[in-house]
Amino acid sequence: MSALLAAALASGELVCEFSDGYRKSLLAALAGDPPRTELVLVYRDLAGDAARVLASGRAGQKPVLVRPGAGRLQLVEPDGASVRVTTLGECVQSRTRDGEEHCRRFSATHAWILGSYDQIPSGAATGFCEPWKVE
């Protein structure tokens, strides 16, 4: 796991925003419409291999498993026979403070998956995640 992703975990909280999935985003692009926010997730208490998530449109906090990997970080929420997976990728916006680079925004995808979550489905919602505290 990269140092920037490790810093995202160290922040303790992430705020994520996702637009419509691939098909809707493609139609919006063809029509010249900006992508609309479909889902907001707040990941809290990131520590080790666990966290909690608050999701727009759903009541209550749910437990999440934290799975670091090569160049990405997966936040996995069990949901019956399926899982909801948010995958953080590369840093797309950063700033340098006191000689250190701090990531302010990560690219991200979110999908509801039946079965293995090693592969990110092509129809996953796209968006970004930001550490709640960057300082």
Question: Residue 43 maps to which CATH number?
Answer: 2.40.128
- Which residue is associated with the tokens 């209550």? 60
Q: Does residue 67 sit within a domain?
A: yes
87 or 122: which carries more pLDDT confidence? 87
Q: How many domains does the chain have?
A: 1
CB atoms within 10 A of CB 127: 23
Question: Which pLDDT score, from 0 to 100, does residue 66 have?
Answer: 92
10 or 41: which carries more pLDDT confidence? 41
Question: For residues 116 and 29, is the Cβ–Cβ distance under 8 A?
Answer: no
Judged against a pLDDT cut of 60, whether residue 101 lies above it is answered with: yes
- Mean pLDDT, rounded, for 103-123: 80
Q: Does residue 108 sit within a domain?
A: yes
Q: Does residue 102 sit within a domain?
A: yes
Quick one: 119 exposed, middle or buried, by C-beta within 10 A (0-12, 13-18, 19+)?
exposed
Q: Does residue 7 sit within a domain?
A: yes
89 or 19: which carries more pLDDT confidence? 89
Report the length, in residues, of the chain: 135
Which residues span the domain enclosing 52?
3-130
Percent of the chain with pLDDT over 90: 36
Q: Does residue 69 sit within a domain?
A: yes
Tens of pLDDT, residues 10-30: 788 999 999 865 556 667 778
Q: Does residue 35 sit within a domain?
A: yes
